[in-house]
Chains A and B, each alone.
Chain A
Amino acid sequence: MMIAAPMPRPEVVEPRNSGAAVFLNGDGEPLPLAMEAKNVSMWYGSKRAIDNVSLDMPAKAVTAIIGPSGCGKSTFIRALNRMHELVPHARIEGSVFLHGQNLYASNMDPAVVRRRVGMVFQKSNPFPTMSIGENAIVGLRLNGVSDRKFLNERLEQSLRMAALWDEVKDDLHKSGTSLSGGQQQRLCIARALAVEPEVLLMDEPCSALDPIATAKIEELIDGLKKRYTIVIVTHNMQQAGRVSDFTAFFYMGRLIEVGSTTKIFMNPNEKQTEDYITGRFG
């Protein structure tokens, strides 16, 4: 399998405390990190879903989280913007840092966390009561922005970033649900980008899309990483290989291995990773 070479080509040194890895650039300098999860464990009621995971997510790069169904990858990504708190009886231990700030500090408002760490979901979910234009800027409007000129600028800017502007610029008043599945998902990406998050989380964003729509989203992700840190959960290993710079392999709630995507796919350290990558299980 051919894998796009990530730029710059990072190397991974041995994990320090339980799985955390330091990513180095070509000159041996550590890469700046956007997010760091430290010793994160999560429970649903009494069931442990995530077991002591520490993971670094470098800034302005795409980190893919792969693993078989039920391995905790979606649960983990939700801990990165505190979305798991919507699930009753969900509990977390450990900490998550965003540019050095602990998202679970007692003075952190979850709404503020989510404004800084945006999320795109598996199933596209534009609001059915709003037009395409309203959907794109709803995050700003309901966060108190009312300057019409600013909203219009941001509307065009975010739709352009989501590569949707040319397709919808004449239909901004139409219902968001009138778009095709792939367009709806790009509208959701535009909606998430409009609030200018620092990190964009994507939870299997293409699993409900056809190959052409998937290719468009992947192309989009490649463009977005110039400005944003992206963490993507995917079922599809080829997708992880195509879009990501770093890959983390989860199994049974544990982080088995993390490294540059090239290394994980070509020369993993762990037997379990290799078995999963080569399709021997999962």
Chain B
Amino acid sequence: MTMQPMEQNQWQAGSLRAESGRMPDFPQHMRRKDDHSWRKFKSALVSALTLCSAVLVIAPLGLVFFHVLMSGIGAVNVEFFTNLPKPVGSQGGGMANAIVGTLELLALASIIGIPVGVLGGIFLAEYGTARVNAVLRFIADVLNGVPSIIWGVVVYGLIVLRFKSFSAYAGGLALGLIMIPLILRTTEEVILLVPVGYREAALALGIARWKTILHIVVKTASRGIITGILLALARVGGETAPLLFTAFGNHFWNHDLSEPIAALPLQIFTYAISPYDDWHRQAWAGALVLVTGVFCVNVLVRIVTRVRTASA
């Protein structure tokens, strides 16, 4: 930490005293110790505390990523991406079905989560009255805080029990329901960021309100909305708990979305709690692929938002 040497500050009480040979007539409260050592100590202490906190925030990410990389890199190979899991005892095998399964589940979740979330966000930002909005916003925030396993249980009760089968549909619905409040709130926020001048300009041209919202406001906010969608996908892509009672997992290819389907987080979960070393290695590899995927989505988000700032 660099600090200004005291001598350079000509307005310091100390240097005034050195010139005049006596303490200048500062008010009582300013006539304290003139080197401010207690103040500097407090400042340094707080700076150190904030630095420690920053390290504490970043360290787990680094440790987790490093550990997953070290443990998983050995089992990530072409076979991992192309093969089905092998039965216990036989070496090798992969998670191709789980990777595809996660993508299918995300697609199903998007079908529910993106339209409802985006349209709901547009309603909140553009149409709703203040009282309705306050209620909706509160509900969305509560839903955002609901533990993800609860969503799994809800969908289990609504879909799985009724159709007497775990299914990809149920898993997609659980993930989609988690996405809705996430996308809703980010969509609302980015739409509210669109300057009111653009709305006025469009309406003053005699453009209908819904066209103004669709072609001007939402288009202006589209990068922010896409960012919100990508972050929501990254978030639910790693969810395990809501899939336990819904998608259930599958060791083979899923050919029917009304059947159970494999997902990367589920496969990792199943393999990690198994007693076999070979499966543990596969679980690490799966974890690495999943973390890398989420990481890539986040990098993509950075790129999307950077384009926005460059063109603005």
Contact = CB atoms under 8 A, between A and B. Distances in A.
| Residue of B198, B212, B222 ringed by the most chain A CB atoms within 10 A | B198
Nearest to B199: A86
A142 B207 CA distance: 6
Contacts of B216: 127, 129
Contacts of B202: 127, 138, 142
B206 A139 contact: yes
B312 interface: yes
Nearest to B206: A115
A133 interface: no
Interface string A122-154: 010101110000000011001100000000000
B200 A111 contact: no
Contacts, number: 76
B204 A123 contact: no
B200 A83 contact: yes
Contacts of A177: 311-312
A112 interface: yes
Given A127-B220, A142-B215, A118 B205 contact: yes
Contacts of A142: 202, 205, 207-208, 211-212, 215
B204 A81 contact: yes
Interface residues of A, number: 27
| Residue of A116, A123, A128, A191 ringed by the most chain B CB atoms within 10 A | A128
A119 B197 CA distance: 12
Contact of B204 (A119, A129, A143, A175): A119
Contacts of B220: 127-129
B201 interface: yes
A128 B312 contact: yes
Nearest to B308: A128
B219 interface: yes
Interface of B: 195, 197-209, 211-212, 215-216, 219-220, 222, 311-312
Interface of A: 81, 83, 86, 111-116, 118-119, 121, 123, 125, 127-129, 138-139, 142-143, 175, 177, 188, 191-192, 195
